[in-house]
């Protein structure tokens, strides 16, 4: 019997792959490692990556993490994968990647979204079929784009996987999908938790795509067991369970303890997300709230904005600042940045649904056009966009008693305070900054215990292993009332530009 049980969490995101090793005996993450990804991008809205890059990064990070703790390889029992949602990984009949994966942030397929919606009978009919609109970024439009623009590649298409499904395929040799990540494809019925033949046949009336989607499995079920040759490469033993895994938002929910109704998680990452757990499907008639399934057997109503740390990174680069310098300058500017407002739609926008929108600096004068105001506006603009998303969740009956904040932006005390003031709600971070990887750890733990005849609940595992960092907690300040008016002004500017 193993002296310890160690679980590996892999978080494969847009910018890179993070791997953590969690020891049950030591009750903590004992090692972590990171490897970056490249990005293929152009001004047409194309955002792509070679799936091989994800594998290379995962191999590098797993090996690096295992090397940090002597003897830990013998204690590993399971691995879970969190992956960026919505990406299209096209495979041929031999399981080889046909072309680079189009990513969640790819807006090149906006016209295919509109075309597919019309083929299916309009937005109302689409909502009836799948519970979600066909949004730019979702997988369905990417497949239609492939069929229309690269017919030779489409002819070879045998399987369509999402990014985390592809990593599970590399780990196990099995082509499977779980409900949470699958619900972000726009060809999955979130009410019935099954693929939607009507959408697949609308993309290709021949029926071919019905045979290109993988088998669906429950969230607590294993995707399989790690291939023996791969386990040997990592120095691991046999019978390493690979859990079903899930999309980054679904794993982030688990990693913040957001596995029962009433909790709200907000991510300040490359993109921004705000979501809550639900015990039944929550379908937004307006289609602005994504009616996702969770990776815990429940549902995860979610709002996504396309540009959060994108804004701060571009502003930082423009002004030749490091992160600390940007935050220091932003702290010198007052709320509202003396009238400077950033509409942060650098990658188009999903909420509101403006895939072809562009970013704008507004309110500039000869006196307020200074670095401090630009830095402050780069924090405030994305936060206002997320507040708009919270109002959509409010209309679905979801209220935030407390916001659990994750993502790179959550490390900034100033940004945490701005979030608390804009939302009028307490904000706190989990102790572990690696919500996606920690979510993958806990889901793999859940799967491991189920496979060993111990059906412990995911809620109990989260209660046991997810802790909040009370030193990060902030409450709305006396500036919160001012921010309510600044938010309304922001909404008016967006409506003036795009409505």
DSSP string, 447-459: HHHHHTT----HH
Is the separation of the CB atoms in 282 and 291 below 8 Å?
yes
- Catalytically active residues are 248
For residues 159-186, average pLDDT: 98
Helix or strand (DSSP H, E) at 32: strand 28-36
- 93 and 229 share one domain: yes
Q: Which residues pair with 361 in a beta bridge?
A: 342
Same domain, 308 and 230: no
Mean pLDDT of the chain: 96
Query: Would you say residue 451 lies in a domain?
Result: no
Are residues 66 and 95 both part of a single domain?
A: yes
Same domain, 151 and 223: yes
Structure tokens at 40: 């293929």
| 439, 250 contact by CB (below 8 A) | yes
Q: Answer yes or no: is 437 within a domain.
A: no
- Per-residue pLDDT tens for 39-86? 999 988 899 999 999 999 999 999 999 999 988 999 999 999 999 999
pLDDT at 1 over 70: no
Q: Are residues 163 and 283 in the same domain?
A: no
Domain range for 168 is: 6-244
Residue 272 shares a structural domain with residue 376: yes
- What is the domain-level CATH number for residue 352? 3.30.420.40
Q: Is residue 186 part of a domain?
A: yes
Each residue of 381-418: pLDDT tens digit? 999 999 999 999 999 999 888 999 998 999 999 999 99
Residue 249 falls inside a structural domain = no
User: pLDDT tens digits for 451-483?
Assistant: 999 999 999 999 999 999 999 999 999 999 999
Residue percentage of the chain with pLDDT more than 90 = 91
Whether 382 maps to a domain, the answer reads yes
* 377 CB burial (10 A radius; 0-12, 13-18, 19+): buried
Structural domains in the chain (count):
2
pLDDT grade, residue 2 (50/70/90)?
confident
Q: Tokens 């990406």 identify what position?
A: 87
- Give yes or no for a cis peptide into 478 (omega within 30° of 0): no
Quote the pLDDT of residue 472. Answer: 97
The residue among 244, 273, 288 that closes a domain is 244
- Work out the percent of the chain whose per-residue pLDDT is above 70: 100
Q: Is residue 349 part of a domain?
A: yes
Among candidate residues 64, 125, 54, 62, the one with its CA nearest the CA of residue 89 = 54
To which residue do tokens 């189009």 refer? 102
Query: 14 with 105: CB under 8 angstroms?
Result: yes
264 shares a domain with 220: no
Render the burial of 291-313: b for 16+ CB within 10 Å, e for the rest: bbbbbbbbbbbbbbbbbbbbbbb
Beta strands in 262-401 (DSSP E): 264-268, 272-276, 290-293, 299-305, 341-343, 360-362
Amino acid 251: pLDDT: 96
- Can you give the pLDDT at residue 202? 98
Q: Is residue 377 part of a domain?
A: yes
Whether 139 is covered by a domain: the verdict is yes
Identify whether residues 20 and 130 lie together within a single domain.
yes
- pTM tops 0.95: no
Beta strands in 88-167 (DSSP E): 89-91, 101-102, 159-161
* Same domain for 404 and 335: yes
Cα–Cα distance between 306 and 458 in angstroms, integer? 30
* Residue after which a domain boundary falls, among 244, 270, 294: 244
Whether the CB-CB separation of 442 and 468 falls below 8 Å is answered with no
d(CA 137, CA 141): 8
- Claim to verify: residue 326 and residue 388 sit in the same structural domain: yes
Same domain, 98 and 203: yes
Q: Which residues pair with 161 in a beta bridge?
A: 89
Q: Which of 244, 268, 294 is the last residue of a domain?
A: 244
Same domain, yes or no: 394 and 320: yes
Q: What are residue 75's phi and psi, to 5 degrees?
A: -100, -5
């Amino acid at each position: 019997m193993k002296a310890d049980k160690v679980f590996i969490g892999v978080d494969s995101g847009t910018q890179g792959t993070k791997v953590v090793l969690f020891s049950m005996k030591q009750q903590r993450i004992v090692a972590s490692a990171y490897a970056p990804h490249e990005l293929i991008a152009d001004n047409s809205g194309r955002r792509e990556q070679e799936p091989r890059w994800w594998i290379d990064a995962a191999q590098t990070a797993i090996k690096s993490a295992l090397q940090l703790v002597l003897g830990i390889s013998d204690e590993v029992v399971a691995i879970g994968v969190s992956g960026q949602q919505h990406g299209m990984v096209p495979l041929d009949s031999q399981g080889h990647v046909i072309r680079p994966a189009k990513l969640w942030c790819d807006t090149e397929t906006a016209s295919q979204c509109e075309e597919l919606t019309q083929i299916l009978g309009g937005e109302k009919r689409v909502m009836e079929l799948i519970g979600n609109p066909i949004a730019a970024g979702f997988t369905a439009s990417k497949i239609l784009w492939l069929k229309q623009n690269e017919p030779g590649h489409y002819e070879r298409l045998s399987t369509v996987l999402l990014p985390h499904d592809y990593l599970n395929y590399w780990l196990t040799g099995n082509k499977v999908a779980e409900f949470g990540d699958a619900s972000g494809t726009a060809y999955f019925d979130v009410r019935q938790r099954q693929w939607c033949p009507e959408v697949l046949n609308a993309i290709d009336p021949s029926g071919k795509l019905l045979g290109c989607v993988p088998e669906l499995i429950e969230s607590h079920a294993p995707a399989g067991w790690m291939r023996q040759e791969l386990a040997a490469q990592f120095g691991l033993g046999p019978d390493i369970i690979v859990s079903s895994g899930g999309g980054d938002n679904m794993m982030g929910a688990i990693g913040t303890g957001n596995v029962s109704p009433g909790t709200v998680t907000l991510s300040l990452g490359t993109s921004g997300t705000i979501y809550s757990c639900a015990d039944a499907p929550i379908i937004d008639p307006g289609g602005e709230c994504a009616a996702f399934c969770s990776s815990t057997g429940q549902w995860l109503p979610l709002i996504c904005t396309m540009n959060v740390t994108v804004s701060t990174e571009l502003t930082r680069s423009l002004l030749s600042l490091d992160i600390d310098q940007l935050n220091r300058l932003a702290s010198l500017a007052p709320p509202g940045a003396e009238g400077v407002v950033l509409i942060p739609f650098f990658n188009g926008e999903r909420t509101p649904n403006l895939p072809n929108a562009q970013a704008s600096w507004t309110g500039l004068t000869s006196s307020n056009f200074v670095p401090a105001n630009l830095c402050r506006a780069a924090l405030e603009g994305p936060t206002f966009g997320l507040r708009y998303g919270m109002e959509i969740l409010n209309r679905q009956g979801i209220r935030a008693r407390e916001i659990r904040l994750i993502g790179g932006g959550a490390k900034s005390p100033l940004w945490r305070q701005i979030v608390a003031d804009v939302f009028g709600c307490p904000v706190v971070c989990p102790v572990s900054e690696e919500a996606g990887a920690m979510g993958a750890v806990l889901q793999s733990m859940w799967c491991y215990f189920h496979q060993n005849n111990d059906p412990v609940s995911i809620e109990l595992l989260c209660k046991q292993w997810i802790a909040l960092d009370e030193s990060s907690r902030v409450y709305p300040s006396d500036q919160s009332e001012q921010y309510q008016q600044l938010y309304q002004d922001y909404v008016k500017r967006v409506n003036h530009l795009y409505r």
